[in-house]
Structure 1
Amino acid sequence: MHLNTKKIAFAGVMLALTEVGIALGSVIETNTLFLLAAASFFVGIVIQEFGLKSGAGFLLAGILLAILLSPNKLYVVSYAFMGFYILIIETIWHFSGRASGWIRSRNFFWLMKYLVFNVLYIPGLIYFWSMLSEKKTAKGIMLMSAVFGQFILFVFDKTYEYAMGKIWKENRHKFGF
């Protein structure tokens, strides 16, 4: 019983920090992507500490609470995509650890990361450009946006790996884990 209480309390604090990050993204416009990415990293912390099901529940709770509290709903969508991406890559990492051969390799994991990202990003990019204008968007702008997204994924992913592998790993004992 004590462990469940601790789990709920910790997840509640992480959820509060998530919502603060999303709300601050609306206030501090120059750091919006950084704050949304940091908020989505809490999904990874909950997954690492309590498992995939808890992480999925945490993400859902974060999205629903952000819909109610956030002044800018577009930031909620961005947070949802980042959190969902983290949930999917953590799921892939979890199940690839049980596999053997090439599926266990780092190259396979990176390939899956780019595949998952592009399945989420490309349709969103097409929808975004179609909202901006009724006429067809120039192919060059779409291609540049797609390539820039790959760069952003690389930066996001390296930052996430550093946050989880270095910062959280070194500080998790302060929370009793």
Structure 2
Amino acid sequence: MSRRVAYGGILLAINIILLLLTNIIPINTLFFMGLASLPISIVIMEFGPSTGIGFYIGSVILGYLVMTSKAQWLLYACTFGVYGIIKYAIERDRPIFIEMILKLLFANIVMIILSILLNAFVYIPINLISILTFQVIFIVYDYMYTSFIDYYNTKIKKIIKNL
């Protein structure tokens, strides 16, 4: 139990540091949010989805407190932050084609909702090129997320177990 709390606390601290960097280095906001989404996958792999949901809630609450832009916080909370849980739920003995359709469906529904909410505050140009670009970027993000999970399972997990 103490290992779970300590490991989860360290991962949450890493998560929050990455979210803080969105305030300090505003050019790489999406990059840092993408990195901040990775610790939740570790929590899910190590301790299960229910602990992952608790981790997500903690990261969203702390993220609200440390992120100066609430629009960026909303983007993190609705997309990057929750994606590890969504990915875990979707990738359950389904053909990869169905998994990708479900993931793209999730991403597009969330982006439509966020664009409606955020258009009141920030102009977001939406056209065919931006929609297609989003699809490609999301597929690359999902691939990199999967690559991180594989790397964690094959390399990092062994190192941590030996500590």
What is the aligned partner in structure 1 of residue 29 from structure 2? Answer: 32
- Size of the aligned set, in residue pairs, is 161
Q: Which runs of 5+ in 2 are unaligned?
A: none
What is the aligned partner in structure 1 of residue 142 from structure 2? Answer: 157
Q: Which runs of 5+ in 1 are unaligned?
A: 98-103
C-alpha separation between the residues in 1 aligned to 2:97 and 2:67? Answer: 38
Given the alignment, which residue of 70, 74, 79 partners 1:73?
Answer: 70
What is the aligned partner in structure 2 of residue 124 from structure 1? Answer: 114
Asked whether the equivalents of residues 122 and 146 of structure 1 are also in contact (C-alpha less than 8 Å), the reply is no
Q: Quote the offset at 1:167 in angstroms.
A: 4.3
Asked whether the equivalents of residues 41 and 84 of structure 2 are also in contact (C-alpha less than 8 Å), the reply is yes
What is the aligned partner in structure 2 of residue 111 from structure 1? Answer: 101
1:104-125 deviation line (CA, Å, top 9, x unaligned): 2111111111111111112212
Q: Which has the larger radius of gyration?
A: 1
Percent of pairs identical after alignment? 27
Sort the Cα spacing of 1:148 and 1:129 in 2 relative to 1 into closer, same or farther, 3 A.
farther
**Worse-matched range after superposition: 49-58 or 161-170:** 161-170
- Aligned amino acid, residue 29 of structure 1: P
C-alpha separation between the residues in 1 aligned to 2:144 and 2:68? Answer: 27
Q: Quote the offset at 1:164 in angstroms.
A: 1.0
- Aligned amino acid, residue 82 of structure 2: F
What is the aligned partner in structure 2 of residue 148 from structure 1? Answer: 133
- Aligned amino acid, residue 107 of structure 1: F
Given the alignment, which residue of 60, 76, 88 partners 2:86?
Answer: 88
TM-score, normalised to structure 1's length? 0.82
What is the aligned partner in structure 2 of residue 43 from structure 1? Answer: 40
- Aligned amino acid, residue 172 of structure 1: K
Q: Residues 164-175 of structure 1 correspond to what in structure 2 (within 5 A)?
A: 164-175=149-160
C-alpha separation between the residues in 1 aligned to 2:72 and 2:31? Answer: 12
1:49-70 deviation line (CA, Å, top 9, x unaligned): 1111011100000010111222
